[in-house]
Structure 1
């Protein structure tokens, strides 16, 4: 079994807001990240797939194909967007790095599985060089670490 990781970068803005809380509570919990005008990040996304290399090509998956899948299913939706207002997942969820990792997994799991033999193993998304969230699918959820 080989793990193969592809990186991609994108820029997006967001804010943290729980609509069930008062403005005061949102600012108490989320601080300046609750500013409804939002703020932006240059995110780094790592998509890790696992599988056995093909005996003819030596690939777990073709890296150009994986780049295209990430572009089609994630970057085209997230890049240069205000996540709260333009990305369907975040109409009802707070666009934290943790939630982004889970939603990106959901966007990529089936397309990667369609590659024949490859499996999505990990999503890691960096909000800043010092902050990242990692998700490994339902295995994490059963351990209580879903993001």
Structure 2
């Protein structure tokens, strides 16, 4: 008989600032793609992060995972690395990767995988950047982590991909 499966989610809020700017694009391309979010001085958010784990409910404990373990992993990954930081200047990962909410979700996912005792239970990282803009990430599925935005624009498919857009 298979065990019942449940989804367990914990929510945290952290504050950080960033500038949407890609080192792989010219200043003109950055301004065209990211618009007002490419402001030289950046801007900030109160990010709401939901981390979900999915797995069988342990018959002995009645839990998928001890919520304390998930809370501690999120503390290490989110609060120690991202909270009250300038993502572009204080977090090495974003030195060569644009600090879009999509990439923040990837950063959180990759680092949670490193600290969770059962990383295979990680199901989703969901980030509410604003009330209207939400990114969900469930791990790498395509084999290509990031789309080459410069090539996209050269093919004439350029649109404002800013996660801060209204």
Q: Verify: 1:13 aligned to 2:12, yes or no.
A: no
Secondary structure at 1:138's aligned position in 2? coil
Secondary structure at 1:5's aligned position in 2? strand
Residue of structure 2 equivalent to 1:46: 50
Bigger Cα displacement from structure 2, 89-98 vs 54-63:
54-63
Q: Distance in 2 between matches of 1:25 and 1:115?
A: 41
Name the one with the larger strand percent.
Answer: 1
Give the conservation status (yes or no) of the 8 Å contact 2:13–2:48.
yes
5 Å matches for 1:16-27?
A: 16-27=20-31
Q: 1:75 aligns with which of 79, 82, 99?
A: 79
Gaps of 5+ in 2: 148-166
Q: 2:128 aligns with which of 126, 129, 147?
A: 126
Residue of structure 2 equivalent to 1:60: 64
Structure ID, larger Rg? 2
Name the one with the larger helix percent.
Answer: 1
Q: In the TM superposition, what is the alpha-carbon distance from 1:142 to its structure 2 partner?
A: 5.2
Q: Report runs of 4+ in structure 1 exceeding 4 Å deviation.
A: 142-146
